[in-house]
Amino acid sequence: MKKKSMILTPKIEKAITRSAELHRHQERKGNGAPYIVHPYAVAFLLAHYTNDEDVICAGLLHDILEDVPSYGAERMQAEFGERVYRIVKEVTEDRDPTGGWSLLPKKNHWRERKERYIENLKNDSEEALLIACADKIQNLRSLVDAYALRGDALLAHFRAGKEEMLWFYETVFQVISERFHHPLVHELRRSLDEAKKRVFLTV
């Protein structure tokens, strides 16, 4: 597949600005980097493979409904349209399998949240699967880099241990690869293999 070049449309620029605004007080786990690095990296990954404006906007906003609930679904629909909202909702962990919302406390419900996310992936659109791939690739790359610097001390910042994290990423890859044939799926496999070698299989 020929790689694409992102066109910085007014809508994408608005999504960049809104994401930076809403994530401005958040940091990435383990390395303390500004959280906005993550959605920006996801959007850049997506832009290598698609010129779909809504998909790139959804990539920039993909954690908003989960991490900034005060922003709200209605505001996202008003600012970015129904399609962007639908894609973001699909990749949000707090969406229950019926399509509604049931906010589970992150601290005590890690496994349940991840199982729900995986179950939803089985029915998500290809646009959502594309974002899920880019999201997990970036998470795995960040994990490998941070682990190289901090070792097992890094794990204190996460709600799951190595075995649970590996289960999650392996299962996500399996579900996506069975439904979706795309170069980003192969990149996810490579990123997962690298994390297994450098992080998970040091158990």
Q: Which residues are catalytic?
A: 66-67
**Radius of gyration, alpha carbons of the chain:** 16
- Let me know: does 130 contact 48? Beta carbons within 8 Å: no
